[in-house]
Amino acid sequence: MTKYPAVFLDRDGTLIDDVGYIRHTSEVSFYPFTSEALLMLQEHFLLFVITNQSGIAKGLTTEKEVSEVNKYILNTLKKQDIIIHDLFCCPHKNEDNCECKKPKTQFIEKAATKYDIDLTRSFIIGDHPSDVQCGINAGITPLYLLTGHGRKHKGEISNETIIYTNLLEASKYIINKNKQT
């Protein structure tokens, strides 16, 4: 059976502007390069979103609000012919010590099983050290972005981590690397 490479994407600060705990679709602002980057990636990779939404557990937003925002993001991308195969959302805060919050790998493992993903050829892209650590923990290549919270947390990631200005630059790197294999 053929296994497919995947790209796991953080939501806030990666696909859309990170404006805090988003409660309504009117607060969603896609980066101008998001569509171009995802269209490029989906030619060679299955695409997934993994997002930590601790605002739910903290009472700053509701599951319904987050779900509506997530649906809006997926529908907006779908209208641009971008297919996100699955979106995984952790509603917990750090103190909950759940199994799904990045940097834990539960969602990557679920996707790998359900969609026959080849983790050795897969990537995770995000703007938090937890995204990088999640990739390392799952055995996939992490790429760190300077959008969102990226600049603020840059000093918290290891020197070996590949850093890009934004999702489009990271996507170009992935496509070039994919051509070499």
Residue holding tokens 């603020």?
152
Query: The tokens of 119 are what?
Result: 């983790």
Specify whether the CB–CB gap between 37 and 167 falls below 8 A: yes
| Strand positions, DSSP E, the chain | 6-9, 46-52, 86-90, 123-126, 141-145, 162-164
Catalytic residue of the set 12, 18, 127, 131: 12
**Dihedral over Cα of 28, 71, 9, 47: its sign:** negative
The reply to whether 10 belongs to the active site is yes
Catalytic residue of the set 10, 18, 127, 131: 10
Residue type, 82: I
Gyration radius of the chain over CA positions? 15
Task: Give the C-alpha separation, 69 to 85, whole Å.
Answer: 17
The reply to whether 12 belongs to the active site is yes
User: Which residues make beta-bridge pairs with 87?
Assistant: 49
Residue positions annotated with a catalytic role: 10, 12
